């Protein structure tokens, strides 16, 4: 089967190379094979079937940890198959990545190569990622990102290095529109890795579709785009539509986000999404292949490895007090609360969230940063909150909480999350139903998709007031996930079914093998 698939894939890429405007037929058996056929063991696929030998791949993610971590997970899976990976980012970002100790043999296969962080007026010293700046300064990170073009070109030319050969592929993020022209000079192909669900690509659409069906008002972003030919609920809410519309106008970096995406996509041979057929609407990848006039393929969900079994010397959570507290709680009785490293929370938001948890009356573990991303203001909890809830809740103040370990603990039975895609995958991987509080960008689309599938309950927000939320809405969603017997049982049953997909290592590794076949 795979030899025929490889032949069809090469033909598809040949057509994509010859014309950016040629519609590539999407009838690949690779994309339409049922899940049972994809369960073939990784060990039974030869290196020849994977593309003919050892690949040399360069990876360069956007300067945000929500992008760097999935790029690193994909790097690990490529390296585990014997391919050489060079992972590019700025020095401070590389220093903050998780160590390459799992599996132990990958450190020699993945090379972390620093590109110097450019100085930008207004960007604080030492700020190298979106986690280091408040949201209003995020455009300065994009400005710095564009100034990486010169050091990247020097890297690819081999300046100061004894490179024996050029890379086989460069896998890039949405923002690096200047990489494909540089890569073309060295005859190195590029692929774009979107760390989001494939449905987000359908919502944004390619340049030609936006030209044919322009969206000129905020309201036009609150309905499915006209280029989607089937019944769909994929759209933005009004407050999210403001962000979507802003992506089409120039920002302080000089390049609109939509233009970045289009230039990058147009310069790449194909598109990869951190997703899988089982979690997307039916035939989504086939549709996107037609829409973008080039192959769009899944990488699988790239779930993080499960934490090792806890021992007396290696507790489940790397905070002794938190670990002991979790160990003392009944099974599945605790809701874990974490809203990502870059949650734009105000003091009012924080207070309503805290008072909602108190009102819900359930056990909780709240991973809380003392400040919003890059902000100077210390976020204070409501007066007396910790004292009133200390018998059933813990506020875990940590710059970087061990989320996977917390979700994997037997005491945790729910997750109050912002619905970032990485956190959502982690929740599904542990079979944990979600109370969902989307805050920015893609999170609302993800939360509604998860609610439609019965994996969680969205916290009620007021679209007329910029997406504000109150304690009553928080408490109601938390109770649905943790207390309401019949509803909780249904949520748990649904999410356990998807857990089987996420944890099916054979199935997820097959997606990587198919991706390597494309490469």
pLDDT band at 3 (very low <50, low <70, confident <90, very high): very low
Q: What percent of the chain has pLDDT over 90?
A: 67
Q: What is the pLDDT of residue 406?
A: 93
Top pLDDT among 378 and 136 is at 136
- Whether pLDDT at 210 is above 90: yes
pLDDT band at 99 (very low <50, low <70, confident <90, very high): confident
Note the pLDDT tens digit of each residue in 148-183.
999 999 999 986 565 667 999 999 999 999 999 999
Phi-psi region of 496 (alpha: psi -120 to 50; beta: other; left: phi over 0): alpha
pLDDT band at 378 (very low <50, low <70, confident <90, very high): low
- Whether pLDDT at 341 is above 90: no
- Whether pLDDT at 22 is above 50: no
Q: What is the pLDDT of residue 48?
A: 37
Mean pLDDT of 367-387: 74
Top pLDDT among 396 and 11 is at 396
Note the pLDDT tens digit of each residue in 184-207.
999 999 999 999 999 999 999 999
Q: What is the pLDDT of residue 345?
A: 84
Q: What is the pLDDT of residue 385?
A: 95
Q: What is the pLDDT of residue 29?
A: 30
Q: What is the pLDDT of residue 32?
A: 32
Residue that the structure tokens 């994929």 belong to: 234
Q: What is the pLDDT of residue 103?
A: 61
Q: What is the pLDDT of residue 488?
A: 95
Provide the mean pLDDT of the chain: 86
Q: What is the pLDDT of residue 485?
A: 86
Q: What is the pLDDT of residue 163?
A: 60
Q: What is the pLDDT of residue 484?
A: 85
CA angle 49, 51, 55 (to 5 degrees): 140
Q: What is the pLDDT of residue 428?
A: 97
Mean pLDDT of 338-342: 86
Q: What is the pLDDT of residue 315?
A: 59
Q: What is the pLDDT of residue 441?
A: 77
Q: What is the pLDDT of residue 158?
A: 86
Q: What is the pLDDT of residue 445?
A: 94
Note the pLDDT tens digit of each residue in 274-284.
999 999 999 99
Rounded to 10 deg, the angle between the 421-429 and 485-502 helix axes is: 100
> How far apart, in whole angstroms, are the C-alpha atoms of residue 84 and residue 80?
9
Q: Considering only CA atoms, which of 220, 210, 214, 211 is closest in space to residue 242?
A: 220
Query: CB–CB of 193/74 below 8 Å?
Result: yes
Q: What is the pLDDT of residue 159?
A: 67
Mean pLDDT of 339-347: 84
> How far apart, in whole angstroms, are the C-alpha atoms of residue 293 and residue 265?
10
Note the pLDDT tens digit of each residue in 414-442.
999 999 999 999 999 999 999 999 988 79
- Whether pLDDT at 14 is above 60: no
Rounded to 10 deg, the angle between the 471-482 and 485-502 helix axes is: 70
> How far apart, in whole angstroms, are the C-alpha atoms of residue 437 and residue 447?
8
Q: Which domains does the chain have, with CATH numbers?
A: 56-304+505-518 (3.40.50.2000), 317-503 (3.40.50.2000)
Q: What is the pLDDT of residue 43?
A: 33
Neighbours of 109 (CB within 10 A): 19
Query: CB–CB of 271/289 below 8 Å?
Result: no
Note the pLDDT tens digit of each residue in 479-507.
999 998 899 999 999 999 999 999 999 99
Query: CB–CB of 401/367 below 8 Å?
Result: yes
pLDDT band at 39 (very low <50, low <70, confident <90, very high): very low
């Amino acid at each position: 089967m795979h030899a025929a698939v490889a032949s069809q894939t090469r033909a598809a890429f040949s057509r994509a190379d010859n014309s950016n405007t040629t519609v590539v037929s999407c009838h690949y058996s690779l994309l339409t094979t049922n899940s049972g056929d994809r369960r073939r063991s990784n060990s039974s696929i030869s290196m020849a079937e994977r593309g003919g030998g050892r690949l040399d791949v360069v990876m360069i993610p956007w300067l945000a940890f929500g992008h760097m971590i999935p790029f690193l997970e994909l790097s690990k899976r490529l390296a585990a198959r014997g391919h050489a990976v060079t992972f590019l980012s700025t020095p401070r970002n590389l220093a903050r990545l998780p160590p390459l100790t799992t599996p132990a043999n990958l450190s020699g296969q993945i090379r972390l190569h620093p590109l110097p962080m450019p100085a930008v007026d207004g960007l604080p010293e030492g700020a190298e990622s979106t986690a280091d700046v408040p949201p209003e300064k995020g455009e300065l990170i994009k400005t710095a990102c564009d100034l990486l073009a010169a050091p990247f070109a020097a890297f690819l030319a081999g300046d100061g290095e004894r490179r024996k050969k050029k890379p086989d592929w460069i896998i890039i993020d949405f923002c690096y529109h200047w990489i494909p022209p540089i890569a073309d000079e060295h005859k190195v192909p590029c692929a774009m890795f979107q760390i989001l669900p494939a449905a987000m690509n359908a919502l944004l659409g390619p340049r030609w579709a936006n030209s044919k069906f322009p969206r000129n008002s905020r309201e036009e972003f609150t309905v499915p785009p006209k280029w989607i030919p089937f019944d769909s609920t994929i759209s933005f809410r009004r407050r999210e539509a403001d962000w979507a519309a802003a992506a089409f106008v120039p920002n302080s970096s000089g390049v609109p986000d939509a233009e970045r995406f289009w230039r990058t996509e147009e310069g790449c041979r194909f598109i990869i999404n951190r997703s899988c057929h089982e979690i997307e609407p039916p035939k989504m990848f086939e549709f996107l292949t037609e829409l973008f006039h080039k192959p769009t393929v899944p990488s699988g969900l790239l779930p993080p490895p499960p934490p090792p079994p806890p021992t007396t010397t290696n507790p489940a959570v790397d905070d002794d007090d938190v670990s002991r507290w979790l160990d003392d709680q009944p099974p599945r009785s605790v809701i874990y609360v974490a809203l990502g490293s870059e949650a734009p929370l105000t003091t009012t938001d924080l207070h309503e969230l805290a008072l909602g948890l108190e009102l819900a009356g359930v056990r909780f573990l709240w991973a809380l940063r003392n400040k919003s991303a890059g902000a100077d203001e210390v976020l204070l909890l409501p007066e007396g909150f910790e004292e009133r809830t200390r018998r059933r809740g813990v506020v875990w103040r940590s710059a970087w909480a061990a989320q996977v370990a917390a979700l994997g603990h037997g005491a945790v039975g729910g997750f109050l999350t912002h619905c970032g895609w990485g956190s959502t995958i982690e929740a599904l991987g542990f079979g944990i139903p979600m109370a969902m509080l989307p805050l920015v960008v893609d999170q609302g689309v993800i939360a509604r998709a998860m609610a439609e599938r019965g994996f969680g309950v969205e916290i009620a927000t007021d679209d007329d007031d910029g997406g504000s939320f109150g304690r009553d809405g928080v408490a109601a969603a938390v109770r649905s996930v943790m207390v309401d017997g019949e509803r909780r049982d249904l949520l748990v049953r649904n999410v356990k079914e998807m857990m089987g997909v996420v944890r099916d290592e054979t199935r997820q590794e097959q997606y990587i093998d198919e991706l390597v076949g494309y490469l």
